[in-house]
Chains A and B, each alone.
Chain A
C-alpha cells in the first residue's frame, strides 16, 4: 500500500518538473523582458545591455531555467508583478486561500447534490424520478457555466438581493470573528452553488450509469442468494462498487474546478486565482501569468495523484503488492 503511494508520488515529480520547463519556455517566448518595460527609455542602450549581461538575461535558456527554478524552490521567488509592484508570491498567497475555499465549498456542494441524485436515478431507473433527474443533467450539460452564473447573479444577487454580488468578505469586519466567517461563507455560497449545479451533472450521470451497470452484475445475485435484503444489497454491494469511478473522477473534478473558477471568479468579482489570471493576461503581467499557470498545472497533477491514491485505497485490484 505505502509502496504504491510512494511510487505514485515519484511519478508525479518528473511530471511537475516537465511542467515547470514548459511554463518557463512559454514565458521566454513572450516578447520583451524585465528590462524592456520597466526601464526609462532614455537610458543609454549600452547600459541596459550591461544590465542584461549582469542579470544573466543573455545566458542560454537552460542556465536561466536553473536560476529561475532554484529561486522558486529555495526562496519561493516567482518574480515581481509590475502592476501591483509586489512579489508574485505575496499576491498569489492571498488569492490562493480564497480560491481554495471556493473550490472546497463547490466540491462539497457538488457531491452533496450528485450522490443522492445519482443513487436515486440509478436505483429507480426509467421511472418518473429518474427522468426528472436525467432531464436536469441534460439542461446542465447544455448550459454554459458563465451564462448560468450570470443569470444566477442577476436573479439571486441583484433582483432578490439575497446574496452579495462581489468580493470575498464585507468590508469593515475583523478577521477571526464569527461575523467575518459568516460573511465569507455568505459571499461563497452563490458562486460555489452556481458552479456546483453545472459541474455536478457529470457525476450524476456517471453514478447513474455505474449503478445501473452494477445492478446487473452476477455478484449482486450472489448477495441476494445469501439472503441479503434489498437495502443491504444496495448499500453494501452496489453503492461501493459504483463509487469507484467517481473516486477516479475526483482528480479531474479538481482540474475542471480550476477552469470553472476562472469564469466564476471573474463574473462574481471574487478575488481568487482565476480572476487574477484573467486580469493579468489582459494587462500583460507576465510574471503573474507564469506563476498562476505553474500553480494550476501543479494542482491538476496533484488532483490526478489524489485520484490514484483514493482509488488504491478503495479498490483492492489496484494495489501493488
Chain B
C-alpha cells in the first residue's frame, strides 16, 4: 500500500529582490507519510516557513518550481480555484502568532464557520453552529457556546491558538502544517498546545508537518526530522537516529548548542550568522563558511544527499571529517526527550 501523503520533488521557491530571483528554498525533496509527524528544524532564515508556505501556496509573489504532489495533484501547477478547494479542506495550516492570525472584527463562530462554509455550502447555519461548538470542545475550550460569540480580543493567546487549531481541523484535513505553533506562547501554554496537537494526531489520522526551531519540541513530537540550512535540507533521519547519531556538522552544532542538565561551562555557539537571502552561497557546501577551522578540501564540489543508512540522508561528504574546534568540546547528547 502506498503510504505517501505528500511528495515534494526538487522544490525551489524564489523571491524577487530588485531584478533578480533568490531562492529561499532550494532543491528540496521530501516525503510526508500518512499518519506521521515530520519535523522541519533550522535557524531563523533557513527557509522552513518559506517551505511550508510553498506547500500551501500561500506566497504572494514568489516563483515556485519543482513538484509538490498531494492527492494526485501537482500543487505547483494547480489553478487558483482548485487550490482553494484543497486549502482548508484537505490541507490546513496553524500559524506562528495566534494574536494576529484571527480577524479582529469577526466572532469566533464566524471565523471557524467560514472554514466550514467554504467547503460545505449545504450546511445550515444551525448545523454549522453545532459543529463549531463541537470543534471548540475538541480543542479544549471550556465554555464553547459562550466563546462562539466572543471576539478574538476577548481571548488569551493560548485560547486563540486553540481557535486557530479548531479552524485548521474543521474539515478533517489529511495534511496539517504547523508553522512554529508554540513560538509566541509562554512555556506552560506551549506544553498544553503540543499535547493538544498530539491528541488530535491520534484521532485524526493526519500527516503533520511541524516546523520549529525548538529541539525539545522535536524530540517530543516528531517521528522523522528534516534539518534545513540556508534553504537546503542537510539531513533527514528518524527522530531517534537524529538525536543519537547526528551526522551533518550543522545538526551536530545545533544539538551541541542546546543547554542540558549535565552541561557545564560555556554553551557552544555556531560561528557566524545565517547568510541573508541575497548573500547565500550558491555553490559548494553552504555550511562551510561557518566552520572556518576545517580544511576546504573535505567538501564536495556539488553536495548532494547521501543515504548513509536506510532512511538517513546527509548532504555533503564533510560530515565524515567534521570535528569541533578545540575550545568547545562536543557534549554527549543524552538528555532531551
Which A residues form the contact surface with B (CB < 8 A)?
217-219, 221-230, 232, 236-237, 240-241, 244, 314-317
* Beta-carbon nearest neighbor of B102 in chain A: A219
In the bound complex, what is the Cα–Cα distance between A317 and B87 (angstroms)? 30
Given the complex, which residues of B lie within 8 Å of A236, measured CB to CB? 114
Q: Is B322 an interface residue (CB 8 A)?
A: no
Instruction: Output the nearest chain A residue to B118 by Cβ-Cβ distance.
Output: A227
Given contacts A226-B87, A316-B105, 18 further A-B contacts (CB under 8 A): A217-B100, A218-B100, A218-B101, A219-B104, A221-B58, A221-B95, A222-B95, A222-B164, A223-B114, A227-B84, A227-B118, A228-B84, A240-B105, A241-B103, A314-B105, A315-B105, A317-B151, A317-B153
Question: In the complex, what's the smallest C-beta–C-beta distance from A162 to chain B, in angstroms?
Answer: 43
Chain A residue contacts of B164, Cβ below 8 A: 222
B181 to chain A, nearest CB (A): 13
- In the assembled complex, which residues on chain A have CB atoms less than 8 Å from the CB atom of B81? 229
Interface string of B73-104 (1 = CB under 8 A from A): 00000001100111111001101010011111
* Identity of the chain B residue whose Cβ is nearest the Cβ of A218 in the assembled complex: B100
> Known contacts A226-B118, A227-B84, A228-B118: does B153 contact A219 (CB below 8 Å)?
no
Whether, in the assembled complex, B294 has its beta carbon less than 8 Å from a beta carbon of chain A, the answer is no
Q: How far is the CA of A217 from the CA of B93 in the complex (A)?
A: 16
Q: Which of B102, B118, B153 has the most CB of A within 10 A?
A: B118
Asked if A225 and B100 sit within 8 Å, CB to CB, the answer is no
Cα separation A236 to B118 with both chains bound (whole Å): 13
Q: Is the beta-carbon distance between B103 and A226 smaller than 8 angstroms?
A: no
Q: Which residues of B contact A244 (CB under 8 A)?
A: 105
Residue of B nearest to A228 (CB): B118
CB within 8 A of A219: which of B56, B87, B101? Answer: B101
- By the criterion of a CB under 8 Å from any partner CB, how many residues of chain B are at the interface? 30
Interface residues of B in 101-129 (CB under 8 A from A): 101-105, 107, 114-115, 118-119
Question: Is there an interface contact between A225 and B104, defined as CB atoms closer than 8 Å?
Answer: no
Known contacts A219-B103, A226-B114: A316-B58 contact under CB 8 Å: no
Contact B103 A223 (CB under 8 A): yes
Across the A-B interface, the 6 shortest Cβ-Cβ residue pairs? A227-B88, A226-B88, A218-B100, A227-B87, A226-B115, A316-B151
Residues from chain B with a CB closer than 8 A to the CB of A241 are 103-105
Distance (whole angstroms) from the CB of A308 to the closest CB of chain B:
17
Contact yes or no, B101 A221, CB < 8 A: yes
B167 within 8 A of A: yes
Closest chain A residue, CB of each to CB of B53: A221
Chain A residues, Cβ within 8 Å of B85? 227
Question: Can you list 24 A-B pairs with a CB-CB distance of less than 8 A?
Answer: A217-B100, A218-B100, A219-B102, A221-B95, A222-B95, A222-B101, A222-B102, A222-B103, A222-B167, A225-B87, A225-B92, A225-B93, A226-B88, A226-B115, A226-B118, A227-B87, A228-B88, A229-B80, A230-B80, A315-B104, A316-B104, A316-B105, A316-B151, A317-B104
Asked if A237 and B103 sit within 8 Å, CB to CB, the answer is: yes
A224, A230, A315: the one contacting B58 at CB < 8 Å is A224
Chain B residue at minimal CB-CB distance from A227: B88
For A219, A224, A226, A317, the residue with the greatest tally of chain B CB atoms inside 10 Å of its CB is A226
Report the bound CA distance from A226 to B167 in whole Å: 8
Contact with A along B52-66 (1 / 0, CB 8 A): 000010100000000
What's the nearest-Cβ distance from chain B to residue A198, in Å?
A: 31
A240 smallest CB distance to B (angstroms): 6
For residue A224, which residue of chain B has the nearest CB?
B58
In the bound assembly, the distance between CA atoms of A236 and B88 in angstroms comes to: 17
Shortest Cβ distance from A237 into B: residue:
B103
- B105 near A229 with CB under 8 A, answer no
* With known contacts A222-B101, A241-B103, A227–B58 Cβ distance under 8 A: no
Closest CB-CB distance, B157 to chain A, in whole Å?
A: 13
Determine the chain A residues whose CB is within 8 A of the CB of B119 once the complex forms: 227
Which residue of chain B lies nearest to A225 when distances are taken between CB atoms in the complex?
A: B93
- In the complex, what residues of B have CB within 8 A of residue A227's CB? 84-89, 115, 118-119
Closest Cβ–Cβ distance, residue B165 to chain A (whole Å): 12
Contacts of A315 in B (CB 8 A): 104-105
What is the CA–CA distance of A225 and B96 in the complex, to the nearest angstrom? 13
- Whether B103 and A316, one on each chain, are in contact in the complex, defined by CB atoms closer than 8 angstroms, is no
Enumerate chain B residues within 8 angstroms of A228, measured Cβ to Cβ.
84, 88, 114, 118
Q: When chains A and B are docked, how far (Å) is the Cα of A241 from the Cα of B104?
A: 8
Report the Cα distance A219→B164, complex, angstroms: 10
